[in-house]
Structure 1
Amino acid sequence: MQDGVPARRVAVPLRISQRAATARAGASVKALCGETMGTRWSVRLVVEESRELASIVAEIASALDGVIAEMSTWEAGSAISRINAAPAGSWHALPANFYRVLEYALAVARDTEGAFDPTVGRLVALWGFGAGAEVQCVPTAEAVAAARVDCGWARIELDKPRRAALQPGGVRLDLSSVAKGFAVDRVAAVVREAGVESFLVEIGGELRGEGVKPDGMPWWVALERPRGSASGAAPIADIVVALNGLAVATSGSAEHFFSIGGRTFSHTIDPRTGSPVAHDLVSVSVLHRECMHADALATALSVLGPDAGMEHALRLGLAARFVSAVPGGYRERLTPQLAAMLA
């Protein structure tokens, strides 16, 4: 620690991807970027200086447009919006990617006993967040109870041979806590299919990296943490991770919220209660091979809270960081898998 500021820590994967672990002579880092899902995407890739990138940009844009067309509740004509508006008892054939994401989301819901739930859309909107929200307010207990009737991951049935899902009636799917991570994975797949082995993909703070830069250095990224957590009575040092064959996602309640009457309400809704989480956990970062997994699991752990979340992370063997608010600052807890990565 210097002048009251904690020293930066470095985390290195225990297993290095061999496919792209060496620098490439004659290559350089080129940057691409654009807008998607109400945020920005960026890709840094290691290619020959003379390589034309217009086709890669077009493929990335097409892949991201495809995710939006299938899984964005902000688009009235998307596949997910059509299912949300469909009558009770109707079955819907899903695009392959949509089915994969929904199937995984339901698996996480089952594994967390509903702490993560892709059917929570009506509750999210009721509290004034996400698509369909009218105003941020504290709804009545009766309104919460009514919205919860239309929620419940176990109500969704899947027909795998037909790749179809049942709308049981009133369910409003919301894949916002997993679709962005999946979009990162899709962009990574596009870049790999273009023959690029070393790259860093980011969409709205969620990242996935492969290989190394031309100088042999990895893609260094800092784990997100709450504002002000590097100061105060309990400062937290940055953790900078070498993203070689890894993705990272962070879920937190400190950045998106509203306050009424001196009380703060997080955008993270606990499907089991129908209300925003009320514990002191403000940030969870998860490292995983796939960003879709990191995205969903970070949200699930945020809902579970500091103790149950840590227990679940340990059970799954996740590399994760938990940051909780304490008097005068923040407290950090690392899983053994992440602690073992610290150099």
Structure 2
Amino acid sequence: MPAPKAENRVAIPLDLPGGLRFPPDGLQVEASGRAMGVDWTLKATSPPDLPVEALTRAVQASLDAVVAQMSTWEPDADVSRFNAAPAGTWRPAPEDFAEVLACALDMAQLSDGAFDPTIGRLTDLWGFGPPGPVAGPPAAAALEAARALSGWRRLEFDVKARRIRQPGGLALDFSGIAKGYGVDAAAEALGRLGLAHFLLEVGGELRGEGVKPDGSPWWVALEHLPGEAANQAPIVVALCGASVATSGDYRRYMLHEGQRLAHTIDPRTGRPSESGVACASVVHPQCMRADAWCTLLSVLEPEEGLALCHARQIAARLLVRTKRGLEERLSPAFQALLEEP
């Protein structure tokens, strides 16, 4: 199995499939596009009778469907219609919408509200939502009013009937999970077309299936930030039937009086996260789950987040801001990926 350069640290999933030395048959193709406000790219070994145009359409249609249901930037999206619905109104939840909501509520419960898909009012108030940037932090009264309207326990979700009840003023925000779901949905669409070997990236979230043309895994490098220890080797992950997602406070933030205010809101305080986590990366079979875990780990204090990862066997890598600079923290499940078999 060809491997990355020796100076890299190599993370290999424990359930990596066998037979990776045998290159797949087919044509090497690439496709790209734009959706969900980000660029997407696809590298694949495609059967000769499967045109690249069909692959492009499959990915684009999958991502566009997620936008149509879950983007608060689209006034006619299902999520926007729910957010604008009168108090007491029941709204239908399409199948994809319901799947993401169920996962989001599960993450809210296991984290005791550190992940919460109902903080849309707070996201807007801090200038990270559709209304656009704001000049500075909100007034205390406005912050408390938005917090009062938020809270995942206020939401009624009739799973069997696939419908949700608007309690009044509650605003869903799937920005911490929907992009990962889009990756999964697009990957499944490609699989239905018969594509078995590909690497799909949507705005920094990745999923790999099968192997590269030379028979080796899809190698993906985790982000290396300025300020990391110079003697700390970069990490590359083998993605074969796995996904990796990354979230960081260096991507979107507000500068106020010289202070960086992260775009990730802590639902428990209603304010930008002050956890000190600069970057969180998670390897998981589902990109949706990886995406949500990254959001959650950006909110929790590092040790609290790693303890939760340990309890749930989540492979996570954190870069934490300290007085000594950026420090790397690994969950036991991630450390196991780096250990020699």
When normalised by structure 2's length, the TM-score is 0.93
Query: Which aligned pairs between 1:244-255 and structure 2 lie closer than 5 A?
Result: 244-255=240-251
Counterparts of 2:66 and 2:209, CA distance in 1: 22
Change (3 A) 1:11 1:96: same
Change (3 A) 1:15 1:263: same
Counterparts of 1:17 and 1:105, CA distance in 2: 29
Shift of 1:53: 2.0
Q: What corresponds to 2:266 in structure 1?
A: 270
The 3-state SS of whatever aligns with 1:214 is coil
RMSD value over aligned CA atoms? Answer: 1.7
Shift of 1:225: 3.7
Counterparts of 1:218 and 1:97, CA distance in 2: 30
Change (3 A) 1:305 1:333: same
Residue type of the partner of 1:15?
D
User: 2:330 aligned with 1:331, yes or no?
Assistant: no
Counterparts of 2:255 and 2:88, CA distance in 1: 39
The 3-state SS of whatever aligns with 2:216 is coil
1:243 to 222, 239, 243: 239
Counterparts of 2:219 and 2:134, CA distance in 1: 39
Shift of 1:7: 3.6
2:243–2:285 contact (8 Å) kept in structure 1: yes
Shift of 1:82: 0.4
Residue type of the partner of 2:182?
A
Moved more, 145-154 or 40-49: 40-49
Shift of 1:49: 5.2
The 3-state SS of whatever aligns with 1:341 is helix
Counterparts of 2:232 and 2:265, CA distance in 1: 26
Shift of 1:187: 0.8
Moved more, 253-262 or 189-198: 253-262
Shift of 1:339: 1.1
Query: Which aligned pairs between 1:1-343 and structure 2 lie closer than 5 A?
Result: 7-17=7-17, 21=20, 23-24=22-23, 26-48=25-47, 51-229=50-228, 231=230, 236-342=232-338, 343=340
Shift of 1:21: 4.2
Shift of 1:17: 3.1
2:20–2:216 contact (8 Å) kept in structure 1: no
Change (3 A) 1:25 1:332: closer
Change (3 A) 1:219 1:25: closer
Shift of 1:56: 2.2
2:277–2:319 contact (8 Å) kept in structure 1: yes
Change (3 A) 1:145 1:21: same
Unaligned runs of 5+ in 1: 1-5
